[in-house]
Amino acid sequence: MNKSETAVSPEITARANTLLEQMSLAEKVGQLAQISGADFMPGPPAEEIIRQTGAGSLLWLNDTKQFNELQKIAIEESPSGIPILFALDVIHGYRTIFPVPLAMAASWDTAVPEQAQAIAAKEARAAGIHWTFGPMIDIARDARWGRIVEGAGEDPYLGSAMAVAQVRGFQGDDLADPEHMLACAKHFAGYGAADGGRDYDPVFLSEAQLRNVYLPPFQAAVDAGVATFMSAYMDLNNVPASGNRWLLRDVLREEWGFDGFIVSDAFAVGNLVIQGHAKDVRDASYRAIKAGLNMDMASSSYLQTLADLVEDGSLAVEEIDELVRPILTLKMQMGLFENPYVDETLLEKVIALPEHRAAARLAAQRSMVLLRNEDNLLPLAKDWQNVAVIGPVADSMEATEGSWMVFGHQPAAVTVLQGIRAKLPEATVTYAPGPAIRRDFPSPFEDFMPELKKPPQTPEESDAAFETAVTTAQAADLVIMVLGEEAHMAGEFASRGSLDLPGRQEELLKAVCALGKPVVLVLLNGRPLSINWASENVPAILEAWEPGTEGGNAVADILFGDVNPGGKLPVCFPRNGNHAPLYYARTLTHQPEGSPMYRSRYWDSLTTPLYPFGFGLSYTTFEISNLQLSAAKVKVGETIEVTAVVTNTGQVAGDEVVQLYTHQKWGSDSRPMRELKGFERVTLQPGESKTVTFQLGPDELRYWSTNANGWVQEAAAFDIWVGADSLATLHADFEVVD
């Protein structure tokens, strides 16, 4: 699907206009409101609002029967009988949970998120949910920011590819398809650049940074036909994103031609007062409407004040109509008027489909990244008799399914411990969690997660757990350590100052390694971690992320060689949280990094990443060679073709992700020393070769220039590298001429 395929037909526009003419002002305002279906919210019950004015949408409810009941009220009792759009955060699965989005980006295979989100949509639609608040496509270059887990990492090119794949997965080819749902590109825009990685903190980005780095995934989502957008919470250059006319009107609608609707983030309209932008609720509504924000999520500011604002002439009714129209047209396009109810028997059939679990297992396998494998310790043979699995997340269903479950979801993951036990039915597999890990400051979401309410361990309990873990490891022949973060340690409200393994995990890792047994480290986490000690002392490290319902099986598949890992990091791993933000696409500066005098920007540590962007190992080896360009020179506006040959030089079949990086050597602005401009994940049998082809055209070679104050494609020389990560050395030059 693309933007033209989702474009509103003249018939639907005419139908929406006719409906608009019949609606009272109160009903119009109702359509601009997204009301809460959760019982934790104060204010009139949802039924009452629906009965009086109808509602554009309802969120924070996950109950099929109640959806139908509320829909019936909307249709039979509200004045114009307009059906409600039921919305929920379906981020990486509804019942079948897929790897977190950061993990899916590590697959470097757009089929992974596309299929995952198609299945998520099918399950969620069967539950009665029409609209998801995803994909989250914020670029994040600061691993301390908790929400890095929800996006595709640091890179705009990879991020755009993953954004498009997710939009396609959620929405399918036709908005009227009852097995798909409306997607929502969020959070527009710049949220990932929060000062210090602190969630919600202000963001300062130049127009060039926005245009070159943070906005491309959003524009790609528009071009892919995304139906809705969500405005972000934070101040962007001192203007709250939800009251930001430049973002919402000038860029999104006028420049990019987006014709769907924009919902605020939760309470963001009301928050314009708290943020010091609006005088009061009325002023907040006024500013949000002027900025072009269609739907007020949960703050009820529009419900409280819009009618007055129109009645006293502050806002024209046409301004309201303009914002209501896309909400009505989308409801019409998706066939909601014809099919407002959900078949209550459907969900149980859909969630039981075995292909959903199979897809989740495949997605998890393809997302995992092998970070270290000294002396080919992995893959492990299946005849180990006595295996210890150690670590606080080894048997945690929450950590395996990961950050952001849908409301009311009961974790049901195959944990790593279970996956290993299933893989080695004959072996003795012992388990000890070691000391518990927990946040220093609890998550505000704990109220919804009773399992987090466990009392903290006393120092004595922690010591005892430590000892048990070491003794358990001591008694085994092979130790698999499963360390990382619990699910609520990444996500919203889940930023960190440090990127170390939380709690006593590294201490435990050292104690276990000191036993002299073979040790494999499996990481379950939603962000890069500074595993400096492990990277030098633990022979085998598998980054499994938060891998979803089938995560434990996928880990076992890889550890025991049924699957060869092929994922690559979508974000670099800093050596220290204090190094954030850290990303590969920096400019060269007057003292390029790596020059003998400036090996590091700090005098007390290396600034290079512990693991670079694009990095990941395999059980086989690859060679990338024979880099060829279709021409040494091309004219501005022309396309150059780049080819390289990748060969599996090892003994087993495997996947390599061939990556293309460019660097414009001079121009009106300094350009990043490398920028990803192409990638392809290929599967090769031992000895097999394949030629990979990339196109570099004006879209890949242009950029937003501060100096020129606009998009430019310039006559200049370029470096090209093709290889297996962002440090690729296979190099060529070409020139763009006038």
The DSSP line for 533-583 is: HHHHH-SEEEE--S--TTHHHHHHHHHTTSS------SS-B-SSGGG-S--
E strands within 235-368?
235-236, 239-240, 261-263, 296-297
Which is closer to ligand NOJ, CB of 195 or CB of 374?
Answer: 195
Dist. CA 87–CA 439, nearest whole Å: 30
CB of 333 to ligand NOJ, least distance (A): 22
Dist. CA 198–CA 668, nearest whole Å: 33
Q: Which of 721, 709, 15, 654 is nearest to 332 (CA)?
A: 15
Those residues with Cβ within 8 angstroms of residue 385's Cβ, 6 or more apart along the chain or in another chain: 426, 427, 428, 477
Binding residue for ligand NOJ, selected from 142, 223, 398, 492, defined by CB under 6 A: 492
Which is closer to ligand NOJ, CB of 149 or CB of 660?
Answer: 149
Interacting positions 47-66 with ligand NOJ (CB under 6 A): none
Dist. CA 539–CA 636, nearest whole Å: 49
Which is closer to ligand NOJ, CB of 234 or CB of 572?
Answer: 234
Interacting positions 594-613 with ligand NOJ (CB under 6 A): none
CB of 7 to ligand NOJ, least distance (A): 26
Which is closer to ligand NOJ, CB of 404 or CB of 584?
Answer: 404
Map residues 262-291 to x or -, x wherever contact with ligand NOJ holds by CB under 6 A: ---xx-------------------------
Which is closer to ligand NOJ, CB of 341 or CB of 445?
Answer: 445
Sheet of strand 131-132: strand arrangement? 131-132, 85-88, 57-59, 33-36, 296-297
Please give the single-letter amino acid code of residue 442: P
* Residues in binding contact with ligand NOJ, number by CB under 6 A: 6
Dist. CA 461–CA 463, nearest whole Å: 5
Dist. CA 199–CA 493, nearest whole Å: 6
Which is closer to ligand NOJ, CB of 492 or CB of 725?
Answer: 492
SS (H, E, C) 687-719: CCEEEEEEEECHHHHCEEECCCCEEECCCEEEE
* Catalytic residue of the set 138, 235, 265, 283: 265
The DSSP line for 447-467 is: GG-GGGGPPPPPHHHHHHHHH
Which is closer to ligand NOJ, CB of 134 or CB of 391?
Answer: 134
Map residues 125-144 to x or -, x wherever contact with ligand NOJ holds by CB under 6 A: --------x-----------
Left (φ > 0), alpha (ψ -120 to 50) or beta: where does 77 sit? alpha
Which is closer to ligand NOJ, CB of 132 or CB of 576?
Answer: 132
Residue closest to ligand NOJ (Cβ): 133
Our answer to whether residue 447 is catalytic in this structure is: no
Say whether residue 186 binds ligand NOJ (CB under 6 A): yes
Q: Are 388 and 370 in contact (CB under 8 A)?
A: no
CB of 188 to ligand NOJ, least distance (A): 11
Dist. CA 483–CA 475, nearest whole Å: 20
CB of 666 to ligand NOJ, least distance (A): 40
CB of 129 to ligand NOJ, least distance (A): 12
In the chain, the N- to C-terminal Cα span, in Å, equals 35
Say whether residue 92 binds ligand NOJ (CB under 6 A): no
Q: Which of 330, 251, 320, 259 is nearest to 288 (CA)?
A: 320
Residue 694 phi, psi dihedral angles, 5° rounding: -125, 150
CB of 162 to ligand NOJ, least distance (A): 17
Binding residue for ligand NOJ, selected from 54, 75, 85, 89, defined by CB under 6 A: 89
Dist. CA 506–CA 495, nearest whole Å: 20
Q: Which two tokens stand for residue 145?
A: 């920011």
Interacting positions 540-579 with ligand NOJ (CB under 6 A): none
CB of 308 to ligand NOJ, least distance (A): 27
Q: Which of 437, 418, 430 is nearest to 555 (CA)?
A: 418
Which is closer to ligand NOJ, CB of 473 or CB of 489?
Answer: 489
CB of 433 to ligand NOJ, least distance (A): 31
Catalytically annotated residues: 265
Residues that bind ligand NOJ (CB under 6 A): 89, 133, 186, 265-266, 492
